[in-house]
């Protein structure tokens, strides 16, 4: 099987067989705009059935069919990964894209791979996740005052979406951000890709994005302003195996950034 059919009982599946499917970039723009008028659940539902990027649709479904040996007895989700967590978050975590055998398998962002193991353990230590692990869509995990999104919603080969794929997917994160913006006080960007995507997405919804562009770094902070609202953008190295195996990112380093996010987001939690 190449993917889970919408509305067939997968835990947390936001879509049904009636959910409209975007097949082109123009359809993503239109369906994201009209979904935003209906609310976050509809954005999540439409994201989760999108087929607008031919290369990524083929890849995510090939991976879901062929599987990794360790997961050969599991059904893979094989669809785009919607945002997950609180619908009214004070803290938003922005990553790059789902992992082929992680979220593309489990159907939930950062769930079922090594990066997620690091991220959820740290979120739990700083009080933003109920459990220290995140293994399946029905494992009982909950984020506290926090939501996670991927910039590009389908698993890309080598973890590298093209610029066209990134831009095709952008209306989804922009629609989501537009609905979350009244709640979010802190954005944690994982890696330079998440940092740039956050700046682009806030600019797209009409916020003043500082010039020159704030530089990404681990522990970097920038303030974004939109009318009378302000958000603190925090940078963290991505908890990829490349960073965690080499010691570029350590547990205390990740805890420091997420702890700062928890402290800044705390007054309204
Ligand atoms: S990457 Fe985004 S726009 Fe492209 S198919 Fe996946 S969800 Fe749709």
Q: 89-105 pLDDT, tens per residue? A: 999 999 999 999 999 99
In short, whether 60's Cβ falls inside 6 Å of ligand 1 is no
**If you measure from the C-alpha of residue 76 to the centroid of ligand 1, how many angstroms do you get, rounded to a whole number?**
17
Residue 242: count other Cβ atoms within 10 Å of its Cβ. 13
Examine residue 47 and state whether it is found in any structural domain, yes or no.
Answer: no
Residue 71: count other Cβ atoms within 10 Å of its Cβ. 13
Examine residue 77 and state whether it is found in any structural domain, yes or no.
Answer: no
Span 157-176, average pLDDT: 97
Ligand 1 probe mutation, 95, 169, 197, 201, most atoms within 8 A of CB:
169
Structural domains of the chain, count: 1
pLDDT in tens, 219-237: 999 999 998 999 999 999 9
Examine residue 93 and state whether it is found in any structural domain, yes or no.
Answer: yes
Answer for the pair 148, 198: CB distance below 8 angstroms, yes or no.
no
Q: What is the pLDDT of residue 212?
A: 85
Q: Given CA atoms 19, 20, 24, 30 in this order, what sign does their dihedral have? A: negative
Examine residue 215 and state whether it is found in any structural domain, yes or no.
Answer: yes
Residue 16, pLDDT above cutoff 80: yes
Residue 253, pLDDT above cutoff 90: yes
**If you measure from the C-alpha of residue 124 to the centroid of ligand 1, how many angstroms do you get, rounded to a whole number?**
30
Band (pLDDT 50/70/90 cuts) for residue 267 is low
Q: Which domain holds residue 129?
A: 82-268
**Nearest alpha carbon to residue 91 among 117, 118, 113, 119:** 119
Examine residue 30 and state whether it is found in any structural domain, yes or no.
Answer: no
CATH number at residue 93: 3.40.470.10
Examine residue 45 and state whether it is found in any structural domain, yes or no.
Answer: no
Examine residue 113 and state whether it is found in any structural domain, yes or no.
Answer: yes
Band (pLDDT 50/70/90 cuts) for residue 12 is very high
Residue 210, pLDDT above cutoff 80: no
In short, whether 115's Cβ falls inside 6 Å of ligand 1 is no
- 56 contacts: CB under 8 Å, gap ≥ 6: 152, 154, 155, 156, 161, 165
Examine residue 22 and state whether it is found in any structural domain, yes or no.
Answer: no
Q: What is the pLDDT of residue 2?
A: 83
DSSP letter at 135?
Answer: -
């Amino acid at each position: 099987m190449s993917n889970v059919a919408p509305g067939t009982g997968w835990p947390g599946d936001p879509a049904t067989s009636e959910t409209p499917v975007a097949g082109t970039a123009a359809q993503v723009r239109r369906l994201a705009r009209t979904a935003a008028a209906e609310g976050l659940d509809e954005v999540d539902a439409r994201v989760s059935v999108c087929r607008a990027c031919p290369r990524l649709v083929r890849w995510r479904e090939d991976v879901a069919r062929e599987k990794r040996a360790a997961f050969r007895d599991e059904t893979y989700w094989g669809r785009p990964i919607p945002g997950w967590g609180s619908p009214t978050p004070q803290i938003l975590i922005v990553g790059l894209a789902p992992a082929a055998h992680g979220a593309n398998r489990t159907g939930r962002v950062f769930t079922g791979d090594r990066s997620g193991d690091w991220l959820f353990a740290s979120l739990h230590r700083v009080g933003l996740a109920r459990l220290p692990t995140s293994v399946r869509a029905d494992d009982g995990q909950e984020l506290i005052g926090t939501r996670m999104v991927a910039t590009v919603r389908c698993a890309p080969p080598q973890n590298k979406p093209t610029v066209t794929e990134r831009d095709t997917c952008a209306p989804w994160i922009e629609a989501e951000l537009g609905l979350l913006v009244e709640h979010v006080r802190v954005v944690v960007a994982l890696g330079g890709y998440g940092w740039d995507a956050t700046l682009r997405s806030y600019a797209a919804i009409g916020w003043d994005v500082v010039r020159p562009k704030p530089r990404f770094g681990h522990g970097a902070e920038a303030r974004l302003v939109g009318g009378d609202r302000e958000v603190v953008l925090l940078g963290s190295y991505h908890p990829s195996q490349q960073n965690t195996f080499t010691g570029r990112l350590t547990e205390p380093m990740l805890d420091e950034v997420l702890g700062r996010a928890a402290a800044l987001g705390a007054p309204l939690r």
